[in-house]
Amino acid sequence: MLAKPVKEIPNGAMSFEPKWDGFRSIIFRDGDEVEIGSRNEKPMTRYFPEVVEAVRAILPERCVIDGEIIVIGSSGDRLDFEALQQRIHPAASRVKMLSEHTPARFVAFDLLALGDVDYTQRPFAERRAALAEALSSAPPPIHLTAATTDRTVAALWFNQFEGAGLDGLMAKPLDGRYQPDKRTMFKVKHERTADCVVGGYRLHKSGPDAIGSLLLGLYNDDGTLASVGVIGAFPMQRRRELFDELQELVTTFDDHPWAWASQQDGTRTPRNAEGSRWAVGKDLSFTPLRPERVVEVRYDHMEGVRFRHTAQFVRWRPDRNPESCTYEQLEEPVNFDLADVLGADR
């Protein structure tokens, strides 16, 4: 079951929950047989042996439970999505090593079946009550997600939980049935704006005269232009217009802030500087631009020093000095310990 994005916390008879920043997964257990399926119905079982072991030890003997696989960062107080991404690896030896060094947890938030009982046609309020009873004494790494029907409490959570690395808030109608592939839930995500320097562009897959994405940067305290992400949601006509507009700013890597990217024939990007595996096999080449254009973008939240997801274009800022585009302008989330989320009032 999916969620429809909304700008504000909805009114009505709702159950409000944290929006976990992990891998959406459905766990199937029948005795010792355990399968973990992703949102796209791809098998995830082999990547999380420690979760499989916990399911056998903790979850009811026969059940189908919807939830999220998460990884807590080394600081112990917030989620680490990048560490979670590293868990998807083809080598069994590395899967085993990562399961010990960056163990995952499972946060349960919906019950589809228990024993011989199909819960999908029952209202969410009943599914939640049955799930809470089934997991009433479940120890980590299995968790029952926090939930409240109080909109005021939900609004407080929305502001607090961002500091623990969560995405926002989910709202589920109490009388709603479980409908696969239907957007019957609601999600409210954090959105902030920032002025960023445009440091380069990638071409669109349609051809050489259209922009695919613009590479964004912010200046560090030492004056280094750091990569913070991209924007890329433009109509095709606008992609071609942008290509023409930006040609006057095209430069070489010789004196560009990301000059090191000219190594390996310009196929690297500031994102790949840390050796992230997500880029393996992808064409990361980009055209460098003189860092003179400033754009205001909308983003959900930061992960480390980067936007967690692709940012959204808001407007150009022609009067803004690029050197003023620093991390200092970013609004910091409220500091909040993840332990307080996992142990929140249910």
Residue 19 is given by DSSP the state E
Residue 16 is given by DSSP the state E
Asked if omega into 257 is within 30° of 0 (cis), the reply is no
Indicate which residue of 7, 19, 42, 172 is catalytic.
Answer: 19
> End-to-end distance of the chain based on CA atoms, in angstroms?
22
10 Å CB burial of residue 224 (0-12, 13-18, 19+) is: exposed
Cα 58–Cα 62–Cα 67 angle in degrees, nearest 5: 65
C-beta separation of 240 from 225 below 8 A = no
Token output for 284: 């990361």
User: How far does Cα 190 stand from its chain's mean position?
Assistant: 11
> Using CA atoms, how far apart are residues 69 and 44, in angstroms rounded to an integer?
10
Neighbours of 72 (CB within 10 A): 23
> Using CA atoms, how far apart are residues 210 and 58, in angstroms rounded to an integer?
53
Neighbours of 261 (CB within 10 A): 25
C-beta separation of 170 from 17 below 8 A = yes
Pairing of strands 183-189, 2-5: parallel
> Using CA atoms, how far apart are residues 109 and 8, in angstroms rounded to an integer?
21
Phi and psi (nearest 5°) for 255? -120, 25
- Would residue 19 show up in a list of annotated catalytic residues for this protein? yes
Q: List the beta bridge partners of residue 142.
A: 106
> Using CA atoms, how far apart are residues 341 and 159, in angstroms rounded to an integer?
12
Catalytic residues: 19
